[in-house]
Amino acid sequence: MEKIRVGFVPSHRDPFDESWAIEIRGRTLKALSTVNGLEVIVPDGNVTKKGLVRDDEDAERTIELFEDRGIDGLIIGTMTFGDEISALRIASAFQDLPILLFGTKEGPFTPEGGRRSDSFCGTLSISSGLYRRGIPFTFAGIIFPEEEVFLDAVRRFMRVCSIVKGFIGANIGLVGPRPERFETCIFSEDAMVRWFGQRVVTTSLTDILNRAEGVSGENPEVKEIIDDMKSEADLSMVSDEALMKMAKLEYALRSFVRERNLAGIGFRCWTEIQEMYGISPCYVMGRMTDRGVMMACEVDIYGVLTMLIQYLATLKERPPHFIDWTIKHQKEENVFLAWHCGNAPPSLACEGCRVKVSYHEVLSRVLGSERTVGTCEFQLREGEVTICRLIEDDGTFKMLITKGEILKS
């Protein structure tokens, strides 16, 4: 699981009950400590008075603390009424990061019948200021920090932080041109730069194959890849020569990723690689996705971006599968076949299933089975899945997000 580091702003306004603010701050930190994978950076008594943020000086010191620690997101909570100016100053300094705002429920009245916090009112002021400045934020509600509704909001917020952290500014590899007849795979580098600050790192299929052919079979990393493939899959249909080619191809892709710091690759997966190199790259592509490098077939760059969003949303715990919606069921309503050539990450195999490396069902009809070996075949694990797709039209991005269920086929 990826670790997410957030900055916590415990906002307080004098002359509201400072002791109550300190208590709620402590309860919030205790509750946040139960969230797996979350690291909280918060000013303590050495940074601000009693670890609360209440004025401009506190804001500047807190900004310095968060910048020094490199936070991935910002959580602002009103411990009492909250000082909107200092909270908004901090939010403005980190407005490119995800921001979560929450208020706290009112405690018991004082012995004199007075109110302790007025957090609800102060939260309205801060939210209004965020909106006025055009700073996006998510509202987690008016809560006590131990409540599950708050902790669930924090867990969702962590996933947003992960997406922003890994998606914005990502380097995406492009190996070869898209298939000429697949207009579906077009993309705009200009839109990717303007919206997401991303870079497309291009190279040719020839360069990748030259890397593969140029590495020795005795290379320790190549040998490690071969051993891993043997332990992972049924290779009974794979010759020693084809296995070596697959391992060398994976080595070449790994080296490309390391050199250019890539988050994913759109790959020219047919038919030149089969004709020139003698294997299909599908199994290798699934293995790369399993190891955190999103690989989409047919140089589908927006497919890579979709995969990357899904992967980051799981805090890098579960790989996605780049797949086609192929046919609707002949009889059943709302049932369709989700299939692709054999590029699924092996970790998605159903329980008890052993993946098998075979030849490409479609391309073998034209090129023969010997040159198209390298697809990974298995039944996907049953259960609920997220189905999504990022597209761009005339410089504007939108995303389909829905859910479905994998059925045994």
pLDDT tens digit sequence for 359-388: 999 999 999 999 999 999 999 999 999 999
- Domain identity same for 362 and 385: yes
- Domain identity same for 177 and 127: no
Alpha-carbon gap, residue 195 to 198, rounded angstroms: 8
- Domain identity same for 267 and 388: yes
Range of the domain at 27: 4-167
- Domain identity same for 289 and 392: yes
- Domain identity same for 155 and 50: yes
Look up residue 397 and give its DSSP letter. E
Fill in the amino acid letter for 251.
Y
Which of 148, 167, 186 terminates a domain? The answer is 167
Average pLDDT of the chain to the nearest whole number? 97
- Count of the separate structural domains present in the chain: 2
Q: What pLDDT band is residue 115 in, cutting at 50, 70 and 90?
A: confident
In angstroms, the Cα distances linking 139 to 124, 289, 335 are 11, 34, 37
CATH number at residue 231: 3.40.275.10
- Domain identity same for 202 and 330: yes
pLDDT of amino acid 108: 86
Helix, strand, coil shares of the chain, percent, nearest 5, are 40, 25, 35
- Domain identity same for 115 and 228: no
DSSP labels for 2-18? --EEEEEEEE--TTS-H
- Domain identity same for 206 and 159: no
pLDDT of amino acid 112: 80
- Domain identity same for 147 and 236: no
Which of 138, 167, 196 terminates a domain? The answer is 167
Which of 123, 150, 167 terminates a domain? The answer is 167
Fill in the amino acid letter for 107.
G
What is the rounded radius of gyration, in angstroms, for the C-alpha atoms of the chain? 26
Q: What is the pTM of this model?
A: 0.96
pLDDT tens digit sequence for 156-191: 999 999 999 999 999 999 999 999 999 999 999 999
- Domain identity same for 136 and 216: no
- Domain identity same for 225 and 128: no
CATH number at residue 45: 3.40.50.1070
- Domain identity same for 154 and 183: no
Alpha-carbon gap, residue 130 to 144, rounded angstroms: 22
